[in-house]
Structure 1
Amino acid sequence: MGETEDGVRPQRTVFVTVGTTCFDALVRAVGTRDFQQELSARGYTHLVIQMGRGTYTPKKLKQSDGEDGSLVVDYFTFSSSIADYLRSASLVISHAGSGSIFETLRLGKPLIVVVNEDLMDNHQSELAEELAERKHLYCARPQTLYKTIADMDLESLLPYVPGDATPVAKIINRFLGFLDD
């Protein structure tokens, strides 16, 4: 990813969210030097981690902490809204919560969903795997996230188009005796 005419790399942010849970395995995975170097090599300039209730604290890095071209790393626990972070992200890495998944897909952002295998009855993995099979996102585990980043081709992802509930609503309205408009 090239520089602008004035020699400055355009800001490209990776936003990581774990929601309200504790998902230290994901925070640890994105906090590794190898992972961050791979992001930098792919042209990303910033890594922002929303770490939720986790106890593992990643290392913050300012531009001045590393050599030129290094990734700037920041984190926070919670925010009243992550919408601005999602909108400004060039890539989102998220836990498998359906709200985070669909909000990111509606914004048309490339998405890697990381399944938390520590959760019991993990129905979230079924949703993530189905959407990955339909090529709307990538699905990973904390231990496979680096390989997913290294191998990903964001151009291969297909836009997610939410379904139209109108036909179902009309059937329900007819069944309940309401007239169609």
Structure 2
Amino acid sequence: MKIVFVTVGTTSFDALVKVVDTKQVKEELFNKGYTHLLIQMGRGSFIPTKSAGEDGCLAVDYFTFSSSIADNLKSASLVISHAGSGSIFETLRLRKPLIVVVNEDLMDNHQSELAEELAARKHLFCARPQMLYNIIASRNLEDLLPYPPADAKPVAKLINRFLGFAND
């Protein structure tokens, strides 16, 4: 079972939900070996089409909110996410392939800057909703580089020095 997990966070991002619900995107995901598409649709009003996955098609299910999407991220073979920093860094920490779709309807979208920088460093792919199909069809997820885990030691040493504790 290869699961594509889509998350929009707590916002409304119907443009992302609509594009992953298109026949073209679902067929491309299926052709790439994915078997299930699970969509966390947030406050959106667009309802995707459910499918049991019969007749050589992708199984599709959705939900609005969950107290935690950690299990969904862990079980995913591919994550397609909005540009929220929490979703991005949790997915990268789990070393899951990630496509970030920027919500162009947000004003002063600082989240796109984060996604574009991480894409430039080859940790994820960044797309606009209308470009998602092209990213899925043309990019190789094997080209993504693992995001290096953070080293908290320098920060801890600085805090210890500030508080007057001896550094080891």
Q: What is the TM-score of this pair, normalised by structure 1? A: 0.89
Residue identity opposite 1:178 in structure 2? F
Residues matched between the structures, number? 168
Corresponding position: 1:96 with 2:86 = no
> Aligned residue for 2:33?
43
Contact 2:119/2:125 (CA < 8 Å) preserved in 1? yes
Q: Is the CA contact (8 Å cut-off) linking 2:35 and 2:53 kept in structure 1? A: no
Matches within 5 A, 1:46-61: 46-61=36-51
Q: Give the C-alpha shift of residue 180 in structure 1.
A: 1.5
For 2:37 and 2:7, the matched residues in 1 are separated by 11
Select the structure of larger CA radius of gyration.
1
**What is the 5 A alignment of 1:123-162?**
123-162=110-149
Distance 1:55 1:12 in 2: 27
Alignment of 1:1-181 (within 5 A): 11-64=1-54, 67=55, 69-181=56-168
CA distance in 2, matches of 1:33, 1:72: 12
160-169 or 149-158, larger mean C-alpha shift: 160-169
Q: 5+ unaligned residues in a row in structure 2: which ranges?
A: none
- Say which SS state the counterpart of residue 25 (structure 2) adopts: helix
Provide the C-alpha distance between the structure 2 equivalents of 1:84 and 1:165, rounded to a whole number of angstroms: 26
For structure 1, the residue ranges without an aligned partner over 5 or more in a row are 1-10
Map of 1:4 onto structure 2:
none
In structure 1, C-alpha distance between the alignment counterparts of 2:151 and 2:79, rounded to whole Å: 25
TM-score (norm 2): 0.96
Aligned residues of 2:73 and 2:91 also touching (Cα < 8 A): yes
Map Cα deviations across residues 99-129 of structure 1 (whole Å, 9 max, x no partner). 0001111111000000101111111001101
2:74/2:94 contact within 8 Å kept:
yes
Matched residues in 2 for 1:62 and 1:167: separation?
50
8 Å contact kept, 2:97–2:141: yes
- Alpha-carbon separation, structure 2, partners of 1:89 and 1:174: 42
Give 1:162 shift. 2.1
